[in-house]
């Protein structure tokens, strides 16, 4: 990375609390930073490859696919696509953090340019790679500098794109441990079709409906979902609706229309569910994340 750009990184000012950045000219990345947050999240997953950093305070990172771990200032958490997880502050505590979400296909292509191996990323619904906590203060500072570049309105979009590619390829991806998750053999023949059913926003499948559709017990359906998605069938479907809502809101669909199209009982219910998963109300998310550029 050239010295001029390194100097620009060092000069970036700290930004205000609780904000998002994205731009339609760089649709593969969305980033967030929050200061002194007490917000707690339900277990959830994203279709994106995500990297988080702890700025201050402490949090507990938990996932069906990893042991719970307390993380503190300077820690980075790598969360591959579809990995169920939650990061919440300690009881009566608060923490400040940053989170970047990258389009999984875009990251896969970038990684293939380094190694030529896409096998770790080839999954439509089921997570392939284990999450990872990294304690490396140099990586933390590089991540924070990159985030400040993205948030700075004075930096041209071309330089922002260059920064993302350089920092990921030169600093981050070589340090990540791409440990493949062990695939469960339990009723594995059903998982692709089950994923397609649960991702159908037109309906909310009940356990009984799924049991009849696949010809296996309701318990087997629950276990199949937990083993592969880390969530129960109902929780997984709600999580997917929230992920779909994020995209709709970013592209200008009204909160009321999104709630209706995704089958929520009313706007109040949509507001409650969205905030439990995203840590912010649908209206606030749309105001912060409506695509720039």
Supply 108's token pair: 């896969």
Question: Could you tell me what percent of the chain has a pLDDT over 90?
Answer: 73
Q: Does 144 score more than 80 pLDDT?
A: yes
State how far the Cα of 125 lies from the Cα of 114, in Å rounded to an integer: 24
Residue 38, judged by CB atoms within 10 A of its CB (0-12, 13-18, 19+), counts as exposed
Read off the pLDDT of each residue in 99-108 and give the average, rounded to a whole number. Answer: 94
Per-residue pLDDT tens for 210-256?
999 999 999 999 999 999 999 999 999 999 999 999 999 999 999 99
Is residue 239 within 8 A of residue 262, CB to CB? The reply is no
State how far the Cα of 77 lies from the Cα of 176, in Å rounded to an integer: 10
**Residue linked to tokens 């706007």:** 267
Total-model pTM: 0.89
Q: Does 290 score more than 80 pLDDT?
A: no
Q: Does 5 score more than 60 pLDDT?
A: no
pLDDT at residue 3, rounded to an integer: 46
pLDDT band at 14 (very low <50, low <70, confident <90, very high): very low
Q: Does 15 score more than 90 pLDDT?
A: no
Of 17 and 81, the one with more pLDDT: 81
pLDDT band at 177 (very low <50, low <70, confident <90, very high): confident
Q: Where are the alpha helices (DSSP H) in the chain?
A: 3-11, 104-115, 137-151, 157-167, 191-198, 207-214, 218-229, 233-250, 255-261, 267-278, 282-289
Of 3 and 267, the one with more pLDDT: 267
Q: Does 18 score more than 90 pLDDT?
A: no
Is residue 204 within 8 A of residue 237, CB to CB? The reply is yes
Q: What is the dihedral of CA 65, 71, 75, 81, to 10 degrees?
A: 20
- Range scoring the smallest mean pLDDT among 32-41, 51-60, 122-131, 162-171: 122-131
Query: Among 207, 176, 210, which residue's Cα sits nearest to residue 191?
Result: 210
pLDDT band at 111 (very low <50, low <70, confident <90, very high): confident
Q: Beta strands 95-103 and 19-21: pairing type?
A: unpaired
Show me where the domains of the chain are located.
3-175, 188-289
pLDDT at residue 231, rounded to an integer: 97
Query: Among 36, 5, 285, 13, which residue's Cα sits nearest to residue 162?
Result: 5
What's the CATH superfamily of 188-289?
Homeodomain-like (1.10.10.60)
The DSSP result for 115-179, as a single string, is HS--GGG--SSS--B--EEEE-HHHHHHHHHHHHHHH-TTS-HHHHHHHHHHHIIIIIGGG---P
Read off the pLDDT of each residue in 115-126 and give the average, rounded to a whole number. Answer: 72
Domain 3-175 CATH class label: mainly beta
- Range scoring the smallest mean pLDDT among 50-54, 117-121, 163-167: 117-121
């Amino acid at each position: 990375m050239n010295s001029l750009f390194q100097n620009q990184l060092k000069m970036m000012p700290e930004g205000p609390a609780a904000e998002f950045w994205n731009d339609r000219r760089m649709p593969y990345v969305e980033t967030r930073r929050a200061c002194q947050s007490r917000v707690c999240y339900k277990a959830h997953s994203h279709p994106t490859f995500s990297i988080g950093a702890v700025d201050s305070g402490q949090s507990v990172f938990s996932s069906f696919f990893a042991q719970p771990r307390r993380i503190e200032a300077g820690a980075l958490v790598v969360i591959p696509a579809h990995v169920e997880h939650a990061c919440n502050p300690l009881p009566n505590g608060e923490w400040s953090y940053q989170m970047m979400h990258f389009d999984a296909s875009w990251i896969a292509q970038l990684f293939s340019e380094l190694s030529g191996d896409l096998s770790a990323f080839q999954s439509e619904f089921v997570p392939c790679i284990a999450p990872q906590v990294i304690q490396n203060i140099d990586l933390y500072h590089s991540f924070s500098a990159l985030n400040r570049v993205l948030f700075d309105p004075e930096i041209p979009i071309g330089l922002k794109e260059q920064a993302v590619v350089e920092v990921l390829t030169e600093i981050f991806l070589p340090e990540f441990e791409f440990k493949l998750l062990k695939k469960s053999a339990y009723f594995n023949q059903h998982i692709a079709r089950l994923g397609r059913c649960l991702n159908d926003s037109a309906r909310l499948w009940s356990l009984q409906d799924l049991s009849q559709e696949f010809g296996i017990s309701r318990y087997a359906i629950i276990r199949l979902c937990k083993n592969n998605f880390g969530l129960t069938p109902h929780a997984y479907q709600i999580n997917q609706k929230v992920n779909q809502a994020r995209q709709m809101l970013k592209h200008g669909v009204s909160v009321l229309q999104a709630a209706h199209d995704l089958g929520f009982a009313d706007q109040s219910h949509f507001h409650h569910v969205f905030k439990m998963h995203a840590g912010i109300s649908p209206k606030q998310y749309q105001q912060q994340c409506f695509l720039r550029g």
